Chains A and B, each alone.
Chain A
Amino acid sequence: MSDPRLPATFENPGLPPHVHRAADTDPRAAKRAERQVASLFTLSILSTIGFVVSYFAVKSDTEAFIPFIGTTNLLNVLLGVFLALALLGIGFGAVHWAKTLMPDEEVVEERHPIRSDDETRAKAVGLLEAGAESAQLNRRPLLKATAGTALGLFALPLGVQLAGSLGNPTKALDELKSTIWDVKDGKPIRLVRDVERTPIKAADVSIGAVFHVLPETIKESHHVLEDKAKAAVLLMRLHPNDFAADDLGKKAKSWGYEGIVAYSKICTHVGCPVGLYEQQTHHLLCPCHQSTFDVTRDCEVIFGPAKRPLPQLKITVDAEGYLVAPQGFAEPVGPSYWERKK
């Protein structure tokens, strides 16, 4: 059926004939292209001047209204736009020049196989072998073994120095477990407002209210951010009937005071501060990956990637009616780690 004289596949027809551009044949077109390129370069020159003038002339706090963008800093806009035009002028100029006036006839370069020819390979191998031979590598196994070991070990001092001095990990397990809520001298610790650092009377906490809370010990802290990062607590007041009737609800209620409950604010997923409280549902939501905790059931996870409930802080009131924590958290706060249960 098929013609036996036809080749099995098509053959590469070679480069197509070259088509000239207007500027190659028409001197006026070439002149026009030259003028266009020169204007672009001139735009760049003028914009550079514009940049320098704006830099010295515009006050740094002047605001400007830009359509579609809104109110922004005028100096930033002027500097940026002038810099942009200075650069774009050069860029468009160069590309236009290349496209209209520089030769557009493609050239062909030959490729050669990447691999070296056998002779070259043999020569390289020979040189290596001769080198190893003249160094007596194979004849002196003692040298080979000791040199190898020394080379294998020489990075060790650097590694030891680095790993040994980055930070002392021996305290990690103790510190991850403790917070500044831990009672040292038997004296319960008052709850204070996060920003004002004033103590909180139970009577001040109305139903539905949320307080961002720290322990009063934060005032003596020498490592405020580190201590806060573990001790931050959320305080909410629920109606005592709002708690679930099951064991979880009962435990939550009994660790609180008249419906006021305190929970660690550090998400048990990867540690973002949990803080979006929905009053109607009594849910706490973490803004990072949306883990949702049910306050009526001891902050059990009802949605999201976190596994564990937020640890509860046991609270009561002192003689003056201020909320206090008689003991620290019963478990480590924040993200899980290998030895958490130990």
Chain B
Amino acid sequence: MSTASSARAADLRAGDPKSSAPASASAKKAGAVASWVDERTGIAKGASFMLKKVFPDHWSFMLGEVAMYSMIICLLTGVFLSLWFIPSAGQIPYEGSYLPLKGITMSEAYSSTLGISFDVRGGLLIRQIHHWAALMFVVSLSVHMFRVFFTGAFRKPREINWVIGTMLSMLALIEGFAGYSLPDDLLSGTGLRAAEGFIRSVPIVGSYVSYMMFGGAFPGEAIIPRLYAVHVLLLPAVLIGLFTAHIILVMVHKHTQYSGPGRTNENVVGFPLMPVYTAKAGGFFFLVFGLLSLISALVTINPIWAYGPYDPSPVTAGSQPDWYMGFADGALRLLPGWLEFELFGFTLSLNVFLGAVLLIPVMYTITGAYPFLERWITGDNREHHILDRPRNVPTRTALGVAAITSYLVLMFAAGNDIIAIRLQMSINDITRAFQVLFFVAPILTFWVSRRICLSLQRHDRDKVLHGRESGTLVRTPDGQYYEVHEELNEFDRWKLVGFESPAPLALPSGKDANGVASKDAKKELRRAKWSKFFFTSRVEPVTPAELAAAHHHGEHEAIETPAGAGAHAIKQAKHD
């Protein structure tokens, strides 16, 4: 018995490495610590898996990182702010060192924000970094979202992460608005005043909900501490939770990569976490933080001391929210007054409700649903790990551009007064123009960007078929000139031909096999129609046969290569 157990004990030791002398004392110490931790957590298994993990390298993959870092910087500086900020609407006379406001009655929230700005050493810097990081957070998150959209990175298996991202984006707006409202200065207070008006516009329950949120009549003393709880506790917790899920899914899926030589749907080509990616991504955190500090040192943002404390009666000229809320503000400016009307004696303010309450959830619902809509149209159920070049999926790209256009129209509409003054035009005309643009501009940009995609694709075909222009002119013995075209090598060529260009689904009859119009068959018909919309205008990648034919055509390409060679490859779907 004893022999057996001692033999087993010996077995347990058998795997232990014969410790070879470590290089240095510090390496020995580090090794000892690592071993202590591993014996209690088994972390080496996870670590060696993680440290080997490969991340593809591309500038556009850093956008999400910027968002992540800005959020971390918000969290960090936010904790600092919370040490001095007093979330109270209680009114007190100002006793701080900013002379112009001395003795004025104001809320403790406003007074303590003045304190952070003038009486806490370096407090202003922290406040400014917090605010700039918040702006950077929303900007980078949006651009990151555009990247994901235009490259089709939301396709299977990444739809869940797209939805999580959509939620993060919406919550970031709300988090920013809540934070912006905390200092209780004249501008942010006027913003809250408007927010109360938004809530009142909700049919049936609006006035009650307003009273519940504000704990009574506006402004009341409840809203500041409540927004504070939402801003520093509730939403950060949700944001961190969603963000963590987001990152875990990125690990599970492994990062997508752009099409290129050696990159396939079955592999990831890039740099391992240790050391290259750690150094680059870690270094990048410091770059973002450093940039934000520099901006905060030099450019004042939200100088609340210049606005004065909130008071419902003074007029705030040119009041404007932070940029990310601009589109909702613009929508409010465009929605005409006749959208408010009476219904059985009740008042329905659609002019407010549509823009201020419905717009954001509707916008994000459409965004979140897009991957599922596209999958339904394309019927494509495969996993996709190779990113699309935006030009190779013209309809999706054009849809994205159209959506961004609508957003921008709303955002610029929020500046209708400023534009009217700058251009010396009537604000009526400007507003009318924006109202029209909201409907027309997206259609226009949809059409134009789809054209551009197609012509870029044709240009790619040209390059593959006829090589790239070398800039060298050669004169033939019979006096003609031609430009020497250099043929692409196989690696460069692959970047231009390594994509799919699916044909639209064939139009079914809308009847089932027995010739009876059935529900399912009708659904298929609808899907085929959308598929036609999605895939009709398309350019196919060059095939080896086409390249061979082009070579055959002439070793020397004449200068006047017919414009739009490859136009023959635009296939119109046939109705059958």
Contact = CB atoms under 8 A, between A and B. Distances in A.
A110 to B, nearest CB: 6
Contacts of B494: 10, 12-13
A7 B544 contact: yes
Contacts of A78: 297
Interface stretch (B258-266, B402-410, B502-510): B258-266
Contact of B287 (A8, A95, A271): A95
B347 interface: yes
A221 B72 CA distance: 45
Contacts, number: 349
B490 to A, nearest CB: 4
A126 interface: no
Given A3-B548, A305-B351, A269 B215 contact: no
A114 B249 CA distance: 11
Given A171-B211, A335-B201, A113 B297 contact: no
Interface stretch (A222-230, A240-248, A252-260): A222-230
Contacts of B201: 270, 335-337
B197 A194 contact: no
B424 to A, nearest CB: 16
Interface stretch (A98-106, A133-141, A149-157): A98-106
Interface in A113-172: 113-114, 163, 166-169, 171-172
A228 B311 contact: yes
Contacts of A1: 549
A13 B203 contact: no
Interface residues of A, number: 106
A226 B220 contact: yes
Nearest to B122: A79
Contacts of B279: 94-95, 97-98, 102
Contacts of B42: none
A225 B310 CA distance: 9
A16 B338 contact: no
Contacts of B340: 307-308, 336
Nearest to B120: A60
Given A104-B276, A289-B332, A169 B208 contact: yes
A148 to B, nearest CB: 27
A72 interface: yes
A97 B286 CA distance: 14
Contact of A102 (B122, B220, B275): B275
Interface string B190-215: 10011011101111111111111111
A80 B283 contact: no
A14 B297 CA distance: 48
Contact of B254 (A93, A111, A271): A111
13 contacts: A6-B543, A15-B262, A16-B491, A60-B118, A66-B298, A80-B129, A111-B266, A168-B216, A229-B217, A269-B332, A276-B317, A303-B427, A335-B200
Given A80-B294, A80-B298, A273-B312, 8 more contacts: A8-B544, A9-B544, A14-B261, A88-B294, A107-B269, A169-B209, A290-B416, A306-B351
The 5 A-B pairs of least Cβ separation, nearest first, read A80-B297, A270-B197, A94-B283, A275-B315, A15-B262
